[in-house]
Structure 1
């Protein structure tokens, strides 16, 4: 290969791209915009690792609560007491901390210049905006602090994160190692995260392949914008003495120029999207623009691969085109496309995936190279099979209305162009169907039914020791939307003040609340009950003898001092039978009503309130949380759900949703650009038809048919390939094969909806092109 000759021809082609007048610039800009959208999405993808690492580093830097009572430092002028007061407001999570410095050198949270005094708070910019807005009325009632500052970027994991630090006092006596602790610095070390199981790794790999492959397909299609006009222009080069190889190299240079300009466009699009990312929240996730820094090696790979792909795609596309000095040989009937090599791609993909069928989570990791190669070959098979299918179908279509015949004849003359427009959508839909089937198949492994009885209660509140149960019960009963309240306190009972030999549980509540956990005989305030029968606690039967002195909340060798309140088992203690509570747990030990406790006994009781609510009442969840905040900032309320899902599985599914949103935007934008380019190439043809009296309605319908027929064939092929890949992936993960018909129909519908939207957006330009003055030329 003569490098000098290649470089000269490529340079000449690049010059033609920018010196060919208005037509040349239009073609170059359309190519650049199409390529640029794909490049921008690739750059965003290469920035994902750095964004995830940045979020992780920020989260580690502000870590304070490690849920351990081991290693709590002693109070000094370098310590800070921190309490977790996380909250939720209208399905938005709020990260909250109460802080109490114990000296002048107490550590500062990241992003905070000064620890707030009691009654003050510093908030994230997003929380500040929410509190100032009309939507934050109920939240303002819940946070009775004066805002004295904002948290800097270094203290937040996302631009839209809701977070605050509030000043407090008297936190030290509440230290329990879980919700309240003492620290000497932020950034407490956490244990290494649990490794992902093989199925989750498989999900991540398939998600990346499925989301990125349509981007590559669109970039390959974008570099061929204006292909028919370009090929006709190349005939003029043959006329002045260029041979066929030189002509192809010049054409590749023209595509190379568009791809390089597309890199510039893509960089600009990426920078705009990067800046916009700071103000956008997708599926509850947000980032700072500074997070989105593409990995240098991957960015260089994109910069090299896109122009190289443009040259390669152009050379491959021109192999089937005969360019002669007097024109391009397209009028003759082209040779029929061969099917055999197109079938080899999906068959090869299945062969690569077959050895991993049945592995699931029990036979080691999946071979990543085989997974990537197999999924790629199956999805690329869509792009190879679609032109053959379009050609085979449209060659057999004929009679119909004028608009139908115009559309069919156009498709018969350029099946490759029609298939190129649809390839990206077909690949995206096929991959989405397979992924939805895979997620549906393994969802049961990462979703478990909650043990809570959501018919008996829909919310639970955990109360600190200093909140009386009676007061909590009254406050919740007066809250709008609350139908029933069961306030139950728990404490431990031991036979000694320190390190008891025998211990059991004590449950405290009024008669109505105690009946939620046990079957009681006649009950009055002042009664006590001993659980007998069934799975009764043997220690409770021994400790519950009348007249015996026990100790509420004895202390253990864990650095935490108990209340050690003496209590004598009453002579009239009654027998009760255990009953499953709202959490479907069995409560054993001794049950007492409030009056049966000694004077200081209530201080050792930690309360839980179970609420049955009217879910149709407006803002009922936030009203309950407001009541909780009034009782104590350290009280915590949460909503029950019938199912619980693994956080890592949920994160992967959220990542898929975010990525699919971006890819759908790319699909729509690229398809619109491709459609406009096709209309621009047919400008004179449309003008001729209008000049001869063809109705605009007929031409509009013909354009619609030209889009609808390939799309219908592409979506049908995508459904078959997507179902096949989905079944194989389900077999690989070891789950029973189940076709998720709703996902299949929804993905196909979304693909069709994108096409309908693009067609509607292309109608105004089409109507402008259908004018007789379009015949004018210079």
Structure 2
């Protein structure tokens, strides 16, 4: 018989044992299938994530006006689109004002018709928020009638907050008008720049660190039921099968469990895909339909999992002598050797060490080299932990009965316990390394904005041409409950002649307002100041006669555009004062003037700004300010002042890490529970015998806890050591200071221990049911 036919025959026989071996057989296959299936589901989700993100970006581009085709004049196919983005309780809301100028105006994706003036088309998530009790303040801001719900084609995800509002009039596009566009379609063809080498390194590390525990769990799942399998293999040897045949039959059993895991994993994936639409983090969500695995990657998973099952089974049986009267594994084991177990971590360090000190300045990191190096370091945990546990428990003895039972069990066979802990140790080590890496590099992707939230909570930027309403808006905001103080500033250009390419800015405001931008000292209405320092188009001194207004064009052109240019003399008593940083982090240059000393008769200023300080004890004050600004004009920008700002790519990678870590944590807990139940089922006769001889159930329960606690403790210590080592290597690669956040290390190791404790508690009911004397009954 050919080798291929012998393999096929023996694998098929193993599959029949797994599926047709009665209640024991299919229960064992079910446990294996569930463990493998959970890992397969997470692998399928991982292969589907790139496509889901690509679909989000494509829908965002399809509705964007960033690089959309524009028209200079109204036509039958033109549409005026105004940007009305806003924030509500820390959540960004994508807003657009629409005014079609012709019957063939382009319709935004997700809409079936344009909303009429004052009407709203909202996303399902925004519709739900507006109807909820927590959306009362937002309903005051968006008080139009909801006439439609935006379809999926017009949204990046089910949790996105977005709206389109019809408008009967919008400012016409032109010089200085940047918030309204006249478009003939929607598109965003601009490509974002590539990630920096360090950010790309973060993305690769996140991917590897999240998938390695999944691979470890799948490898552990296909090895369940080892003790029962040994008895069957010995029986096969008794009836004449040789050693190679029984190993192939054992591989066939594992193959059947892996195939069952593929089927169950596909089902778990479909269930998870239906649920994914209800989850959101930092307003990032995906539609279930977007989670569509790449056919090539899905085929790779379908091929790799069965092959891994066969390979792992043959590898674990390489040192096992299967004889007709038993399996040598049940006898005393030889001492594990450590030399080959050091090779994977040393190999990983060898691959990563040449990349040290590169940072962002020496080209991109080799993704394959980084992936292989990190994977080898994490795999090193699975190789070192059995040896470390064996050496540790060999020196233990004495103590309570529960302790002795646990220690003796681990001394006799610690393989199942190690398999339970390996996945946790790998996950914790990867999480510690990533946490160290993110913490050490956070400063490189976080910049100081210069803004001072202690001086102003919000800066309201008035739309160009509305500066005449600045005082009314400031008074309206000042009367809003929860507002402590408002400071209003106007800005206008001045020049020695018109038209002029060179100008000097003039800031107009009360003495209190001017004190926010300069150290003016004593002040009264009618004073003016010259700011020292800063680049100026030309020198200005007290007494100079200037033109103020639209100085870049002629007075006639200014009047045609609705503006005005007036003559103005700098007061002769104007003092020179130093500028100071305003609450938004800007430095003024040029001139300052109080209202009585400012140019009179201007039709409009260049821009205007209102700084608002709110009472931090009033959680709704900030939203009332935003509502007041929006109701005054949807184009007035209420910018929340923050002292720091993070790179959005960096934030996105951290968000992906959160989603992935959550999925891995769920997998860890569920797989551990399944494996624990399988091990308890394998040992039910032993437990029943101990109970029959008078052993207390509490003693047996504590012994089970000790059997989990000892390997977990050692595994977490090893994981912390490997994680810190890997984190140190990664920080050197990124050329950032090495720093260990011990709080995060303790939190992550505590989370791993907590998962095991939770699994142990959940398995206690099954343990108590198995600890009955009637468990000795057999057929």
Are 2:247 and 1:252 equivalent residues in the alignment?
no
8 Å contact kept, 2:70–2:182 = no
Q: Give the match for residue 771 of structure 1.
A: 772
Secondary structure, in 3 states, of the residue corresponding to 2:120? strand
Q: Which residue of 2 aligns with 1:406?
A: 405
Runs of 4+ in structure 1 deviating by more than 6 angstroms, as ranges, are none
Q: How does 1:128-277 map to 2 (within 5 A)?
A: 128-173=127-172, 176-190=176-190, 192-277=191-276
**Equivalent pair of 1:80/1:184 in contact (CA under 8 Å):** yes
> Distance between the aligned counterparts of 1:267 and 1:422, measured in 2?
26
Structure 2: 5+ residue runs without aligned partners? none
Superimposed CA distance per residue, residues 333-387 of structure 1 (whole angstroms, 9 cap, x where no aligned partner): 1111100000111111111111111111111111222111111111100000000
Q: How far, CA to CA, are the matches of 2:144 and 2:564 in structure 1?
A: 35
Equivalent runs, 1:64-103 vs 2, <5 Å: 64-65=65-66, 73-103=72-102
Instruction: Quote the residue 1:424 is aligned against.
Output: 423
Counterpart selection for 1:550 from 548, 551, 554 = 548
Preserved contact between residue 552 and residue 567 of structure 1 (Cα < 8 Å): no
Shift of 1:622: 1.4
* TM-aligned CA deviation for residue 576 of structure 1: 4.4
Aligned residues of 1:34 and 1:262 also touching (Cα < 8 A): yes
Secondary structure of the residue that 1:539 maps to in structure 2? coil
> Equivalent residues in 2 for 1:420-459 (5 A)?
420-459=419-458
Q: Does 1:472 align with 2:470?
A: no
The 8 Å contact of residues 124 and 162 in structure 1, kept in 2 or not, is answered as yes
Judging changes above 3 Å, is the alpha-carbon distance between structure 1 residues 174 and 566 closer, same or farther for their aligned structure 2 residues?
Answer: farther
Aligned to 1:24: 25
The alignment's TM-score, normalised by the length of structure 2, stands at: 0.95
Aligned pairs for 1:298-313 within 5 A: 298-313=297-312
1:532-681 equivalent positions in 2, closer than 5 A: 532-535=531-534, 537=536, 539=538, 541=540, 545-552=543-550, 554-555=552-553, 563-569=563-569, 571=571, 574-580=574-580, 581-596=582-597, 601=602, 603-681=604-682
Determine the structure 2 residue equivalent to 1:348: 347
Deviation at 1:501, TM superposition (A): 3.6
SS of the residue aligned with 1:518? Answer: coil
- CA drift at 1:264: 0.5
Alpha-carbon shift at residue 562 of structure 1 (Å): 7.2
1:516/1:579 contact within 8 Å kept = no
- Contact 2:448–2:644, Cα closer than 8 Å, also in 1: yes
Shift of 1:570: 5.6
Structure 1: gaps (5+ residues)? none
Alpha carbons 1:555, 1:562 under 8 Å: kept: no
The structural deviation recorded for 1:554 is 3.7
Specify the SS of the correspondent of 1:610: strand
Alignment deviations for residues 385-411 of structure 1 (CA, whole Å, 9 cap, x no partner): 000001110111110000000000111
Matching of residues 285-324 of structure 1 within 5 Å = 285-324=284-323
**Aligned partners of 1:133, 1:78: CA distance in 2, in Å?**
38
2:432/2:727 contact within 8 Å kept: yes
Question: 1 CA distance for matches of 2:17 and 2:166?
Answer: 68
The match for 1:107 is: 106
Provide the rounded CA distance (Å) in 2 between the counterparts of 1:519 and 1:582: 14
Cα separation, 2, equivalents of 1:732 and 1:395:
39
Equivalent pairs, count: 771
Cα displacement (A) at 1:8:
0.7
Measure the CA separation in 2 of the matches of 1:429 and 1:23. Answer: 34
Q: Distance in 2 between matches of 1:108 and 1:96?
A: 15
SS at match of 1:461: strand
- Taking structure 1 as the reference length, the TM-score comes to 0.95
> Distance between the aligned counterparts of 2:570 and 2:506, measured in 1?
14
Q: CA RMSD in A?
A: 2.1
Distance 2:470 2:511 in 1: 13
Q: Take 2:97 and 2:598, find their aligned partners in 1: how far apart are those partners?
A: 32
1:4 aligns with 2:2: no
Is the CA contact 1:210–1:428 (under 8 Å) kept in the aligned structure 2? yes
* Deviation of 1:415 (Å): 1.3
Look up the SS of the partner of 2:98 in the other structure.
Answer: strand
SS in 1 for 2:330: coil
C-alpha contact 1:65 1:180 (8 A) present in aligned 2:
no
